[in-house]
């Protein structure tokens, strides 16, 4: 099994590069810290600052560039999310059980993930240029707005690079035996940080920047991702509210 072999010799290298404390910091403390900031921060903002909880659209100011950039970016993100669920959440044994060979999986991941990633990066770059060049949009953009877009470009750019370039030129890295189990181990509160030590540096960087981005969510416009109105198709078209119901909810 080539993947297993890779893991063995890289683990020796990685272990040397980063001390035990460093490993615990990056693969245990840091993810939990960032996730905690994300969760607590989001809950706090949801509870105390509903008025700021929006998808701050600028479509009213400009819609020609938005028409290309925004769907490209958002749909790309949606596909990328699905791809990450497939790679990180669903264990490799599941695919093997179904008889999907590792090679077939990777071919699919490279094409599917590559396209999704490119959509995200291209969309975000268009949105960033729009944000920098269209007066009406730029003047009302905040630091947090730029921060979100730029960090998304960095995280997604790294993702695209490791999917399309690294995986095809350096080695077809089997993250489903390392990053995947490590990621899942975080959620059962038994973080197996040792799984991450051997992971190639670019993959590590993608993970770290992604977690840093998660921590920023409550402080930026990204909170709107929690509010995707999936319940819309299910509710009655007309909404009546009676006086006894429309007063402000106390939290």
* Residue 229 in contact with other proteins, rule: CB under 8 A: yes
Min dist CB 202 to other proteins, Å, is 29
For other proteins, the binding residue among 66, 118, 128, 222 (CB under 8 A) is: 66
The binding track of 197-226 with respect to other proteins, each residue x by CB under 8 A or -, is ---------------------------x--
- Residue 171's CB is within 10 A of a number of other CB atoms, namely 13
- The span of 83-91, 94-102, 132-140, 151-159 binding other proteins (CB under 8 A) equals 132-140
Rounded distance, CA 230 to CA 234, Å?
A: 8
Min dist CB 116 to other proteins, Å, is 15
- Residue 27: half-sphere exposure toward Cβ, Cα within 13 Å: 27
- Ramachandran class of 195: left when φ > 0, alpha when ψ lies in -120 to 50, beta otherwise: alpha
* Residue 60 in contact with other proteins, rule: CB under 8 A: yes
Is residue 121 a contact partner of residue 160, using CB atoms and an 8 Å limit?
yes
26 Cβ contact partners less than 8 Å away, ≥ 6 residues apart: 18, 193, 196, 204, 208
SS3 49: coil
- Residue 226: half-sphere exposure toward Cβ, Cα within 13 Å: 17
Rounded distance, CA 147 to CA 238, Å?
A: 39
Rounded distance, CA 165 to CA 161, Å?
A: 5
Min dist CB 118 to other proteins, Å, is 17
* Residue 143 in contact with other proteins, rule: CB under 8 A: no
* Residue 55 in contact with other proteins, rule: CB under 8 A: yes
- The span of 26-34, 88-96, 136-144, 205-213 binding other proteins (CB under 8 A) equals 136-144
Q: How many residues bind other proteins (CB under 8 A)?
A: 44
Query: What residues make contact with other proteins under the rule CB under 8 A?
Result: 50-63, 66-67, 70-71, 73-75, 135-136, 139-140, 224, 227, 229-233, 235, 237-244, 246-248
């Amino acid at each position: 099994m080539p993947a297993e072999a890779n893991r063995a010799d890289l683990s020796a290298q990685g272990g040397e590069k980063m001390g035990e404390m460093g490993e615990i910091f990056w693969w245990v403390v840091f993810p939990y810290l960032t996730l905690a900031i994300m969760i607590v921060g989001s809950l706090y903002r949801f509870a105390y600052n509903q008025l700021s909880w929006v998808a701050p659209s600028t479509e009213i100011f400009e819609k020609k560039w938005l028409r290309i950039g925004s769907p490209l970016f958002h749909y790309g993100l949606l596909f990328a999310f699905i791809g990450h669920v497939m790679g990180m959440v669903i264990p490799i044994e599941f695919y093997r059980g179904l008889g999907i060979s590792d090679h077939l999986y990777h071919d699919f991941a490279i094409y599917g993930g590559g396209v999704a990633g490119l959509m995200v990066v291209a969309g975000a770059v268009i949105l960033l240029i729009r944000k920098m060049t269209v007066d009406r949009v730029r003047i009302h953009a905040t630091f947090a707005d730029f921060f979100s877009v730029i960090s998304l470009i960095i995280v997604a750019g790294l993702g695209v690079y490791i999917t399309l370039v690294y995986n095809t030129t350096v080695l077809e890295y089997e993250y489903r035996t390392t990053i995947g189990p490590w990621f899942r181990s975080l959620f059962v509160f038994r973080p197996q940080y040792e799984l991450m030590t051997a992971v190639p540096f670019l993959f590590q960087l993608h993970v770290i920047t992604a977690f840093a981005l998660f921590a920023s969510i409550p402080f930026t416009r990204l909170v709107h991702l929690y509010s995707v109105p999936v319940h819309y198709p299910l509710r009655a078209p007309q909404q009546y509210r009676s006086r006894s119901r429309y007063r402000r909810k106390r939290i």
